[in-house]
């Protein structure tokens, strides 16, 4: 038994894990899964996994999901390259709080991101928002109101704009709208989370006049400072998060940045 060394962030939004993923053991994978369920996002600093090792590590968490909007890496079908060049204009890919591909009927459960080439520390951070904490802090009447409601999630929600640039160079031809409905309250290991992706939610099923007001209320509540953490990348770092319990957002930056993304079904 080799126990992992880990440290939650001060506001309990996510957890740093200090281990070399090149030599991670089976029992440690189980521990990582437990921490992922508990904290929603895990940060692995100072890693040096090559693409093959990265894919292998990710396969411990399930089978990889296909991303309908981009073509995969030419040699590794599980990896999607998220790249931004210094000369690119417009928003960064994924700028604005969201949870990945929530417009799909079965959205990917987990997302891995690995830093291949990043701007200097403090630029190009990823923001994470813990939705266990956001749910707990909701007023009682809102908890009751949303308990059985379903959000309408669309691939053409607000965040679609940030993907246009990536699709221009690596896109698939499938640009039709994809829509799904999901419960706004989900549960992981008996703990409730808010599942409402501000980048994708365009309505609430079976709710008339109050839809917009409720979406606006939730969207601003979900990203309050108490539930958020800004992660700064260095080359090699890996983040792994649960799309059911976290929102995330890219931040604006200038410079070259290349990330390898794997999503898990
Ligand atoms: Fe994302």
The CATH number of the domain where 45 resides is what? 3.60.130.10
Q: What is the pLDDT of residue 250?
A: 93
CA of 247 from ligand 1 middle (Å) equals 8
Q: Could you give the count of Cα atoms lying within 13 Å of 250 in the half-sphere of its Cβ?
A: 22
Measured between alpha carbons, how far is 154 from 227 in angstroms, rounded to an integer?
25
CA of 113 from ligand 1 middle (Å) equals 9
CA of 126 from ligand 1 middle (Å) equals 9
**Could you report the per-residue pLDDT of 219-263, keeping only the tens digit for each?**
999 999 999 999 999 999 999 999 999 999 999 888 899 999 999
Q: What is the pLDDT of residue 169?
A: 66
Instruction: Using pLDDT thresholds of 50, 70 and 90, give the confidence band for residue 176.
Output: confident
Q: What is the pLDDT of residue 70?
A: 85
How many Cβ atoms from other residues are within 10 Å of residue 90's Cβ?
A: 12
**Is 80 exceeded by the pLDDT of residue 85?**
yes
Averaged pLDDT score across all residues of the chain: 93
Displacement of CA 205 from its chain's centroid (Å): 24
CA of 2 from ligand 1 middle (Å) equals 32
Q: What is the pLDDT of residue 172?
A: 66
Q: What is the pLDDT of residue 105?
A: 96
**Is 80 exceeded by the pLDDT of residue 165?**
no
What is the count of structural domains for the chain?
A: 1
Residue 171's domain comprises: 5-264
pTM equals: 0.94
CA of 153 from ligand 1 middle (Å) equals 15
């Amino acid at each position: 038994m080799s126990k992992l060394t880990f440290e939650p962030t001060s506001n309990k939004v996510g957890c740093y894990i200090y281990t070399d993923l090149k030599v991670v053991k089976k029992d440690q994978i189980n521990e990582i899964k437990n921490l992922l369920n508990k904290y929603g996002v895990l940060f692995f600093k100072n890693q040096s996994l090559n693409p093959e090792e990265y894919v292998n590590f990710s396969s411990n968490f399930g089978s990889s999901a296909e991303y309908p909007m981009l073509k995969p890496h030419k040699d590794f079908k599980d990896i999607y390259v998220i790249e931004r060049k210094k000369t690119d204009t417009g928003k960064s890919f994924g700028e604005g709080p969201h949870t990945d591909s929530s417009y799909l009927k079965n959205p990917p459960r987990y997302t891995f991101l690995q830093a291949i080439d990043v701007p200097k520390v403090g630029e190009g951070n990823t923001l994470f928002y813990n939705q266990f904490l956001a749910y707990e802090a909701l007023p009682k009447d809102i908890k009751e109101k949303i308990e059985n409601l379903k959000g309408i999630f669309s691939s053409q929600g607000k965040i679609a704009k940030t993907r246009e640039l990536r699709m221009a160079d690596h896109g698939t031809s499938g640009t039709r709208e994809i829509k799904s409905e999901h419960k706004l309250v989900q549960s992981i290991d008996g703990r409730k989370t808010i599942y409402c992706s501000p980048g994708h939610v365009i309505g609430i099923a079976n709710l008339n006049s109050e839809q917009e007001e409720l979406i606006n209320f939730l969207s601003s509540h979900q990203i309050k400072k108490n539930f958020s953490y800004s992660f700064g990348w260095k080359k090699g770092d890996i983040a792994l998060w649960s799309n059911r319990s976290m929102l995330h957002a890219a931040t604006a930056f200038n410079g070259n940045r290349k990330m390898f993304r794997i999503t898990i079904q």
